[in-house]
Structure 1
Amino acid sequence: MSYYEHHLFFCNNQRPPGARTCCNDKGATQARDHAKARIAQLRLNAPGKVRVNQAGCMERCEEGPCLAIYPQGVWYTFRDKADIDEIIDRHVVGGQIVERLRLPDAPPPKP
């Protein structure tokens, strides 16, 4: 059992200019802020319900921006606020995984 029904972690890692890609360069902080506001608007931010947090590097920046939802352990990527809304509406509220935005469960094989 988990304290939260859903715990959303947004990778908000920021690397220095010229380093490898990072989620924050792809709008992760704005997406997290939007998700927090949307969860509050839906009144799902009560204790034990839904929590939205930022995380440091989650080592999937090349696939990102990314977020992970626990306790289900589902990882997503997203492009814009509409994708975040779809993840909230379908996964958090509706209990369905958004397959078109889901990241693979396993790391890619090493070359």
Structure 2
Amino acid sequence: MGFYEKHIFVCENSREPGKRISCGWSNTSKIREYLNLKIKELAPDKKIRVNKSGCMDRCEEGPVQVAYPDGVWVNLKSEKDVDDFVNSYILKNDLGAIDHLLVK
């Protein structure tokens, strides 16, 4: 196992308007901040790191986030999405309840 149990990357890339869509246009910095807050609140003993990232080239499916080491791609757009992700995947390692958030 690596240093972190899970390492989550949140795309915050922003392009100029008129070009390809960007995850950063969807308030992903606020999603990342809320994700960090919920993990610290609900899983303080777990070694989980949340980082912003640049483009992960899945822009049209965005906003996207990816969690390693599992390689789980998700589309978190709201605080409710983050709550569901943390409660199911972070706390229980269960993807079944968040199938609607998975990017396949």
Is the shorter-chain TM-score for this pair beyond 0.5, marking a shared fold?
yes
Give structure 2 stretches of 5+ with no counterpart: none
State the aligned residue count. 102
Q: What are the within-5 Å matches in structure 2 for residues 1-111 of structure 1?
A: 1-44=1-44, 49-97=47-95, 98-104=98-104
- Superposition deviation, residue 96 in structure 1: 0.5
Large movers: runs of 4+ above 4 Å? none
AA aligned to 2:53 is: A
- Superposition deviation, residue 78 in structure 1: 2.1
AA aligned to 2:89 is: H
In 1, Cα distance between equivalents of 2:70 and 2:93 = 10
Provide TM-score, normalisation by structure 1: 0.85
In 2, Cα distance between equivalents of 1:43 and 1:87 = 12
In the superposition, relative to structure 1, how do residues 65 and 15 fare at CA in structure 2: closer, same or farther (>3 Å)? same
Give structure 1 stretches of 5+ with no counterpart: 105-111
Provide TM-score, normalisation by structure 2: 0.91
AA aligned to 2:52 is: Q
Give the percent of matched residue pairs that are identical in Structure 1 and Structure 2: 35
In 2, Cα distance between equivalents of 1:87 and 1:100 = 10
- Superposition deviation, residue 79 in structure 1: 2.2
More moved, 63-72 vs 17-26: 17-26
In 1, Cα distance between equivalents of 2:90 and 2:76 = 15
Q: Compare CA radii of gyration and give the structure with the larger one.
A: 1
Between Structure 1 and Structure 2, which shows a larger proportion of helix residues? 2
CA contact (8 A) 2:43 2:91 kept: no
